[in-house]
A and B are shown apart, each in its own frame.
Chain A
Amino acid sequence: MNIETLGIWLGAFFTLCIFSFLYKDNPFYKLAEHVFVGISAGYGVALEFQNVFLPNLWNPLTKEGKLIMLVPLVLGVLLFTRFVSRISWLSRWSIGLLIGIYSGIAIIGFGSGDLVAQIHGNLLPLWGGNDLLTLFNNWILTVGLITCLIYFFFSKEHKGSFGILARVGIYFLMLSFGASFGYTVMSRMSLLIGRFYFLYGDWLGILPQ
């Protein structure tokens, strides 16, 4: 048995172990679950060590003599002070730096990529110029946008005409939730199809070509 065949058999065994949960919880499912968690954690640690720690920090510091790398080294070590309650506050410096960098990047990205672009994209012509279907779509989008925003406006009680518009907003939201649920079902079915393809094709070899 070569290594590839062994891999397929192991994959099939663990797939069936996971599927067995559909009947009820059992030791085979637990085994597969624990093996998965263990391997994922081990793979993650090894990968981070080889892919991040060695090339980005250790090698530049020790082989190329870049002393500036002592700064990230110290910041990295400070993160581990969380395990010692007496000095755990030192880890806040590293965490603060991480949060600051990621927040800065995210805010700029959100501002230019989402906020401005999406507001601009929703300023659509509602009459003239376009074909009827495009105009119809523009109206749906605009009405949906305004009524959904009204629904999330809580400073005024949802009564009277304001309440009716908020109600319309709820229907638009329900439609979007329905579409999201449909896509979620499609996604999960695709994963199931992928697994069945593996079991019937790669493992058992009984699928028609």
Chain B
Amino acid sequence: MKRLLETINSLDRRYIFLFIGLAVSLPLFFPIGIKFTVTHPVQGFYDTIEKVPNDSKILMSCDYDPGSAPELYPMTISALEQMFKKDLKVIITCLWPAGPPLVEKALAHVAAQYNKQPGIDYVNLGFKEGREVVMVSMGASIPNTFPTDYHGKPVSRIPIMQGITNFKDVAMIVNISAGYPGTKEWVQQVQSRYQIDLVTGCTAVSAPEFYPYYQTGQLKGLLGGMKGAAEYEKLVGIKGLGTRGMDAQSISHLTVFLFILIGNLAYFALRFVKGKASR
């Protein structure tokens, strides 16, 4: 017994990696279809976009890079699906340098399905360095802050940008955020100043930091990580990476939970056995 407990206590961490690898891989090949329900923050995200009148213009800021794409790219796809379904016009900006190519990929995937035209139904204004300064500058003038789109075309020649001066000309802001600059800065610099509706999709690791903003109503909706993406996909009616990853997510969490439980039980049991032997 003591030997078994000692083995568990000094288990090579590579066995844990192996089990986690299996826990993630197997559900991808053999889906279980674990059920999940839509939570209030996700419903809020969906409802806020749904309430916007058709043909309105929405500002979407995709502030992430490939490092967090598994969580945030599915949200981008779903948000574009919902907005294009409603015939909303989407103006996209990026405050992270590697964001624009991901936006282009997402637009190529979704816009074609809904027969949306670049420049008329959507525009990718690309990346602008400056973090919060860019947000403040957009409050004065979006065309001056982003004088050209991602492909170098002047915004004065882009139909969707006609009549756009600053935040008062967009119906709401959708933010997809991996960190700094991101949701926190959009709340602090834009939502609190201009009282504009703001919803966000963020990585799971940063979600706990943003729940207070949802509780106070500064955020109208919040998607936290892959789970949030999966719930949102359910509302939009698509089966994307978020939904497909939920089985793997659940099984891997169960595996982590079991390792924590077994590790703790073995630790205390060994302490008990050693204490008994020394008495």
Contacts and interface: CB of A to CB of B under 8 A. Distances in A.
Interface in A107-126: 109-110, 112-114, 117-118, 120-121
A108 to B, nearest CB: 8
Contacts of A121: 212, 215-218
* B14, B188, B225: most-surrounded residue (chain A CB, <10 A): B188
A41 interface: no
Given A106-B188, A189-B248, 9 more contacts: A51-B97, A51-B127, A117-B218, A121-B212, A190-B71, A190-B249, A191-B68, A194-B70, A196-B248
A50 to B, nearest CB: 10
The 8 closest A-B pairs by CB, nearest first: A194-B70, A121-B216, A109-B188, A113-B188, A187-B204, A187-B205, A113-B192, A190-B226
Contact of A189 (B25, B147, B188, B252): B252
A191 B66 CA distance: 10
* A120, A121, A179: most-surrounded residue (chain B CB, <10 A): A121
A117 B192 contact: yes
Contacts of A51: 97, 126-129
B272 interface: no
B152 to A, nearest CB: 10
A47 interface: yes
B97 A44 contact: yes
A193 B24 contact: yes
Interface of A: 22-23, 43-44, 47-48, 51-52, 55, 101-102, 105-106, 109-110, 112-114, 117-118, 120-121, 141, 176, 179-180, 183-197, 200, 206-208
Nearest to B20: A192
A190 B97 contact: no
A113 B224 CA distance: 20
Contacts of B28: 193, 196-197, 200, 207
Contacts of B252: 189, 192-193
A12 to B, nearest CB: 15
Interface in B98-130: 98, 126-129
Interface residues of B, number: 53
B245 A197 contact: yes
Contacts of B128: 51
Contact of B253 (A44, A114, A185): A185
Given A101-B133, A189-B253, A200-B28, A109 B17 contact: no
Contacts of B200: none
A144 to B, nearest CB: 12
Nearest to A23: B14
B89 interface: no
Contacts of B127: 47, 51
A186 B192 CA distance: 30
A103 B217 CA distance: 26
A113 B256 CA distance: 37
A64 to B, nearest CB: 12
* A121, A192, A193, A206: most-surrounded residue (chain B CB, <10 A): A193
B225 A190 contact: yes
Main secondary structure of the interface of A (DSSP, over half): helix
A200 B25 contact: yes
B225 to A, nearest CB: 5
21 contacts: A105-B136, A117-B216, A117-B218, A118-B216, A180-B208, A183-B207, A183-B225, A185-B253, A186-B225, A186-B253, A189-B24, A190-B204, A190-B226, A192-B20, A192-B24, A193-B226, A196-B24, A196-B25, A196-B28, A197-B241, A197-B245
Contacts of A106: 132, 188
A51 B207 CA distance: 30
A193 B244 CA distance: 10
Interface in B241-261: 241, 244-245, 248-249, 252-253, 256
A186 B204 contact: yes
A7 to B, nearest CB: 12
Contacts of A55: 147-148
A28 to B, nearest CB: 16
A184 B129 CA distance: 28
Contacts of B248: 189, 193, 196
Contacts of A43: 97-98
Interface in B77-95: none
A195 B248 CA distance: 12
Contacts of B218: 113, 117, 121
Contacts of A114: 187-188
